[in-house]
Amino acid sequence: MDRSKLSRRTWLATTSGVIAAGLLRTQADAVRLEAQETPEGLRDPSKVPGRPTSEVGARAPGEQPRRLVRNQNLSSSSRTPLQDLNGTITPADLHFERHHAGVPDIVAEDHELLIHGIVDRPMVFRMADLKRYPCVSQTYFLECSGNGGGAYSRDRMPTDITVQALDGLLSTSEWTGVPLSWVLREVGVRPGASWMLAEGGDAALMSRSVPLDKAMDDALLAYGQNGEAIRPEQGYPLRLFLPGWEGNISVKWLRRLEITDRPTMTRDETSKYTDPLRGGAARQFSFVMDAKSVITFPSYPYALPDRGWWEIKGLAWTGRGRITRIEVSTDGGRSWADAQLQRPVLSKSTVRFRHLWEWNGGEALVLSRATDETGYIQPTVHELWDVRGERTSYHQNHQRAWKVASTGEVTFGLGDLV
Amino acid sequence: MDRSKLSRRTWLATTSGVIAAGLLRTQADAVRLEAQETPEGLRDPSKVPGRPTSEVGARAPGEQPRRLVRNQNLSSSSRTPLQDLNGTITPADLHFERHHAGVPDIVAEDHELLIHGIVDRPMVFRMADLKRYPCVSQTYFLECSGNGGGAYSRDRMPTDITVQALDGLLSTSEWTGVPLSWVLREVGVRPGASWMLAEGGDAALMSRSVPLDKAMDDALLAYGQNGEAIRPEQGYPLRLFLPGWEGNISVKWLRRLEITDRPTMTRDETSKYTDPLRGGAARQFSFVMDAKSVITFPSYPYALPDRGWWEIKGLAWTGRGRITRIEVSTDGGRSWADAQLQRPVLSKSTVRFRHLWEWNGGEALVLSRATDETGYIQPTVHELWDVRGERTSYHQNHQRAWKVASTGEVTFGLGDLV
């Protein structure tokens, strides 16, 4: 191969308006290229036999994404590295965690689900029973109701926070399970029933009240995640899954459902997961996750190395169905442009959005805002705080912002808007 | 809790026609239940603190799916455990492998893609260059052209073969990458170009010729798989991805694309990946994977423990777009019933299908057949062999069969049809 024929890469505009990234090849690169023909070139991977096949694969040594672990307390969380991921699927071993008494070690063969209360036939189900039912698989997001809420407030507005630390309590999986409605039909829900208590088999006995309407709609008794069995941190061997609702109510390690005629008012829905409002009132049973979007690139601590075209990328989702529009602003919300949505846009799942932006080297404040099929528009931080107050860490789905300095350095920019 | 109120599970018919699986609780179960209230009950996972959060999760000890490794030769394959998986996504560490000289160890920062030939501007791209382009993400199947072909022939028809050993060279991922057309626009493909040589950076220098039409259509320069970086066995850091086409042409560890005016007739497309036909002719460049379906349950070595309702489950896909219909037969192909397709049905991806079957305890021969949006119907083994012959192991997409004995034992049943 005659290397002299290779063009060095330069800025090239194309007719489509898509302008390519040009990173000039340095002299050092050229030297290194030549070195491949020296004895050191034996490191060329095409010159040596590769590794054999294996029963289970592993990531490349240079690709080791990690969840962000906040602490090692019994009640803790870990966050998905949103900045490292493409597309929408979250690898199961990077799905965020939130548990109140650690991850229990459950043997599937020993696990049982009791369904009782206002029913004709109280029953105990084993995993083999549940797996004999017909099942369905759907891709859904799961988000903790506290996602993005605790990391800052009007009084404490960090600039050095990553999208993982801020909004990493969000993940997306293909979930497989039995529609709960099919199982409830079998136990025979009796007239007068209107709620259901869901109880986990962890040491916290995590317990939430679920309106029966949701249980009969799209609720799953889920045992599969991204093709395989649900991971232990996600509720192995069985979790409730309530699409579009706050994560904690999709009770993990599910061991009991009690059909009731009222909410049970458990510790987990009174001492927490209740949202303070302005004026001392509180909103309870705020189940649905409203439309939200986050920008994953550019975000702290990335620094844009040069001016020109960059693709702003992010994720959007809504618990109320489908995202219909994503807009991006690079001037702090004064003007907006429509971003592209990656098709297909699934209901109650994440959608990847992208927007090509020509950075002129000046300061910029980059935001995104989502609209869903109900017409709901992701609010600004002021719009949300005016209603909800800034003292709660739940359901803080307002627009996020990243500030790009003239140096290219990116920092969390919400402080510029507060 | 008063356990005396718990009903033992019995066969229960529901109005929907969905009949539940009834596994009678044994006396031993009842004894075991009581034992939870003895000191041994301390093993109850709700009575002990769980494990803390972690940076990377691991599967439950009881859930350890494995690829099936045929041998440890330099040219080898490993197969996805289709019988263990739900839904459609294949966990990245269980994606099938097929390589001709092992898995090379490539450092992404050192990897380069040369694009040259009949172009205005030959160029070398590094991974950082490619990642600065806009990207897309789509869920696609990938299947080896030899999938299911080498395991049997008219002369040798095993009964003790699993769906993994038979058809496990099939996997599905959400792939992320740059549309190749955008990059080719930048190097400037010149008039007269009609083909492209794609060369891998492994020790086999795996090389295939690709019609330029496909390269300009939906081909990807892919670097992402199920959210994360492509795994080493799948071509890290960069592979060509040609949706719907036979797996080997989606060249892994991609290091060179040469734009040409004819196919290059490489070793990899003459010594193999050419399909013998009846009468001594051969079919070359048989790129597209035609419609196919496989039943993953029931399959060897499972044995149905009792009569009654069972859900027949499987996967279907076509390289020509969308699957439109799946039919299931339990009488060796004499009569057929429509199976349910899990929505959404994506183009050039797998779709999960299901069919409720009431097994009466007699012998049964269970088949599935797929129809795609072009009207193509997955052929019977005779229909396919009449045209293609049974001496090739490529593109053997005919209907598979599982035989259910009166004992409930399931064996590969194609021999009953040959």
Hey, what domains does chain A have and what are their CATH numbers? 3-47 (no CATH), 92-283 (3.90.420.10), 292-417 (2.60.40.650)
Is B7 an 8 Å CB contact of chain A?
yes
Is A134 an 8 Å CB contact of chain B?
yes
A215-230 residue pLDDT tens: 999 999 999 999 999 9
Is A46 an 8 Å CB contact of chain B?
yes
Burial class (CB in 10 A: 0-12, 13-18, 19+), A341: middle
Two tokens, residue A286:
């705020």
Alpha-carbon gap, residue B229 to B242, rounded angstroms:
18
In chain A, what is the greatest distance between 2 CA atoms, to the nearest angstrom? Answer: 82
Mean pLDDT over residues A121-138, rounded? 97
Is A304 an 8 Å CB contact of chain B?
no
Work out the pLDDT band at B4, boundaries 50, 70, 90: very low
Closest residue by Cα to residue A161 from A83, A228, A234 = A83
Main-chain dihedrals φ then ψ at residue A164, nearest 5 degrees? -70, -45
3-class secondary structure, B233: helix
The answer to whether the Cβ–Cβ distance between B104 and A45 falls below 8 Å is yes
Alpha-carbon gap, residue A284 to A276, rounded angstroms:
9
The chain A residue lying nearest B233, using CA atoms, is A57
The separation between the first and the last C-alpha atoms of chain B, rounded to the nearest angstrom, is 58
Two tokens, residue B37:
């209230």
- What per-residue confidence (pLDDT) applies to A149? 86
- What per-residue confidence (pLDDT) applies to A5? 36
Please report, to the nearest 10 degrees, the dihedral formed by the alpha carbons of residues A218, A223, A229, A235 taken in order.
100
- Provide the ipTM: 0.90
The answer to whether the Cβ–Cβ distance between B227 and A89 falls below 8 Å is yes
The answer to whether the Cβ–Cβ distance between B23 and A128 falls below 8 Å is yes
A 363-392 near B (Cβ less than 8 A): none
Is A13 an 8 Å CB contact of chain B?
no
Q: Cα angle at A57 between A53 and A63, to 5 degrees?
A: 125
Alpha-carbon gap, residue B148 to B325, rounded angstroms:
22
- What per-residue confidence (pLDDT) applies to B276? 78
Chain B environment of A202 (Cβ under 8 Å): 45-46, 50
* Rg over CA atoms, chain B: 25
The chain A residue lying nearest B312, using CA atoms, is A134
Main-chain dihedrals φ then ψ at residue B71, nearest 5 degrees? -160, 180
Name the pairing type of β-strands A323-329 and A337-338.
antiparallel
Alpha-carbon gap, residue A407 to A303, rounded angstroms:
8
Closest residue by Cα to residue A257 from A183, A169, A317 = A183
The chain A residue lying nearest B202, using CA atoms, is A46
The C-alpha of B20 sits at a distance from chain A's nearest C-alpha, in angstroms, of 6
The answer to whether the Cβ–Cβ distance between A52 and B72 falls below 8 Å is yes
The percent of residues in chain B predicted with pLDDT above 70, rounded, is: 90
Work out the pLDDT band at B275, boundaries 50, 70, 90: confident
Strands (DSSP E) along B219-272, which ranges? 220-225, 228-229, 239-241, 254-260
B 201-260 near A (Cβ less than 8 A): 201-203, 205, 223-224, 226-229, 231-233, 236-237, 253, 255
Alpha-carbon gap, residue B101 to B331, rounded angstroms:
44
For residue A143, the cross-strand partners are A170
| Interacting residues of A220 by C-beta distance below 8 A, sequence separation 6+ | A136, A138, A175, A177, A178, A179, A180, A240, A241, A243
Supply the mean pLDDT for chain A. Answer: 90
3-class secondary structure, A242: coil
B22-31 residue pLDDT tens: 333 333 343 3
Burial class (CB in 10 A: 0-12, 13-18, 19+), A38: exposed
The C-alpha of A377 sits at a distance from chain B's nearest C-alpha, in angstroms, of 25
The shortest CB-CB distance from B56 to any of A47, A66, A237 is to A66
Is the pLDDT at B8 greater than 50? The verdict is no
Alpha-carbon gap, residue B391 to B383, rounded angstroms:
14
Could you count the other beta carbons within 10 Å of the beta carbon of residue B335? 10
Enter the pTM of the model: 0.91
Determine contact, residues A197/A214, Cβ cutoff 8 Å.
no
Exposure string over B359-372, b if 16+ CB within 10 A, otherwise e: beeeebbbbbbbbb
* Rg over CA atoms, chain A: 25
Q: Cα angle at B114 between B110 and B117, to 5 degrees?
A: 170
Determine contact, residues A221/A130, Cβ cutoff 8 Å.
yes
Two tokens, residue B150:
């080498």
Is A30 an 8 Å CB contact of chain B?
no
The answer to whether the Cβ–Cβ distance between A85 and B228 falls below 8 Å is yes
A358-401 residue pLDDT tens: 999 999 999 999 999 999 999 999 999 888 877 788 999 999 99
Alpha-carbon gap, residue B299 to B368, rounded angstroms:
12
A99-108 residue pLDDT tens: 999 999 999 9
- What per-residue confidence (pLDDT) applies to B151? 82
Chain B environment of A14 (Cβ under 8 Å): 182, 185-186
Is A106 an 8 Å CB contact of chain B?
yes
Determine contact, residues A320/A291, Cβ cutoff 8 Å.
yes
Determine contact, residues B174/A352, Cβ cutoff 8 Å.
no
Alpha-carbon gap, residue A99 to A267, rounded angstroms:
15
> Running DSSP on this structure, what letter comes out for residue A381?
H
Is the pLDDT at A1 greater than 60? The verdict is no
Work out the pLDDT band at A18, boundaries 50, 70, 90: very low
A 338-367 near B (Cβ less than 8 A): 342, 344, 346, 352, 354, 356
